[in-house]
Amino acid sequence: MPHFDSAGVELAYLDTGEESEKTPVLLIHGFASNIATNWVTTGWVDVLKRAGHRVVAIDNRGHGASAKLYDQAEYGAPVMAEDARHLLDHLSIPEAHIMGFSMGARISAFLALAHPARVKSLVFGGLGINMIRGLAGTGPIARALEAESLDEVTNATARTFRIFAEQTRSDLKALAACIRSARAPISADMVSLIRAPVLVAVGSDDVVGGSPEELAALIPGARAFLIEGRDHMKSVGDKRYKDAVVRFLVEVESDQD
């Protein structure tokens, strides 16, 4: 997997490199995940390529094949949004559709707010109104990641994150630093400033992401897609979610021609 330099941090990325008349898509994965887990094995890269897009994805700092950092100050969604912008610069992509899942959706929002000209559309996957309300209980998750073994973790939600982090063979200490980092707030007023077309897609059983309808109502022109019968983890590769995103991208490309 190739790497690029983002302000002194070496980050891994995927680039299908196929030129197209359609706008490229940049994918930003969720916490404790990586390009392969979030986007390749779930079929997303293939689906978007078949739809005619050049597909680019980033391994966020502290994740996947990217540099592992252990200082909390090295993380945070605004910082990671700049990593995404640096990748677009590195690949000479002036504008892209951006899809982020969970933490990646939060990063995508900061990218759109800081660099609106680089964002043709946004898909917030796995994160609805809790983008505004924030994630409670990050302390137990960090402690779970720092525990000597899974046997020491009793908090049910924290155990889920520890199990997932082990499945993705993540650096647990780097993830703990990431989740302990200062969480820059996103307010209702801030998301109301987003002018790119937005699709918010969240599972009906997703207690992590919260209501997609409530978040979409705060963003001018945004629409919501409820992934029925899916929780946070199982919504990622859902076919209905993929179909909704492909339809959304087709509409955006048609409206802006």
**Distance between CA atoms of residues 61 and 157, nearest Å:** 23
**pTM for the whole thing?**
0.95
- Tell me the HSE value of 114 on the side-chain side, using a 13 A CA sphere: 17
Answer whether residue 166 is part of any domain: no
The model's confidence at residue 17, banded by pLDDT at 50, 70 and 90, is confident
Answer whether residue 16 is part of any domain: yes
Answer whether residue 138 is part of any domain: no
Q: Which of 72, 65, 77, 83 is nearest to 169 (CA)?
A: 65
Answer whether residue 94 is part of any domain: yes
Q: For residue 44, give the CATH number of its domain.
A: 3.40.50.1820
Q: Is 211 exposed, middle or buried (0-12, 13-18, 19+ CB in 10 A)?
A: middle
How many domains does the chain contain in total? 1
Answer whether residue 145 is part of any domain: no
Q: Which helix (H) or strand (E) holds 125?
A: strand 119-125
Predicted confidence at residue 20, as pLDDT, reads 82
Interval 183-226: pLDDT, tens? 788 999 999 999 999 999 999 999 999 999 999 999 999 999 99
CA-angle at 63, arms to 59 and 69, nearest 5°? 120
**Distance between CA atoms of residues 37 and 63, nearest Å:** 11
- Asked if the model's pLDDT at residue 77 lies above 80, the reply is yes
State percent of the chain over pLDDT 90. Answer: 88
Q: Is the torsion defined by CA of 57, 62, 64, 66 positive or negative? A: positive
Interval 124-144: pLDDT, tens? 999 999 999 876 668 899 999
Predicted confidence at residue 19, as pLDDT, reads 78
Predicted confidence at residue 108, as pLDDT, reads 98
Predicted confidence at residue 157, as pLDDT, reads 84
The model's confidence at residue 166, banded by pLDDT at 50, 70 and 90, is very high
The mean pLDDT value of the chain amounts to 95
- Asked if the model's pLDDT at residue 256 lies above 80, the reply is no
The model's confidence at residue 257, banded by pLDDT at 50, 70 and 90, is low
Answer whether residue 124 is part of any domain: yes
Predicted confidence at residue 139, as pLDDT, reads 86
Answer whether residue 237 is part of any domain: yes
Answer whether residue 181 is part of any domain: no
Range of the domain at 47: 3-132+187-255
Interval 25-67: pLDDT, tens? 999 999 999 999 999 999 999 999 999 999 999 999 999 999 9
**Distance between CA atoms of residues 68 and 8, nearest Å:** 12
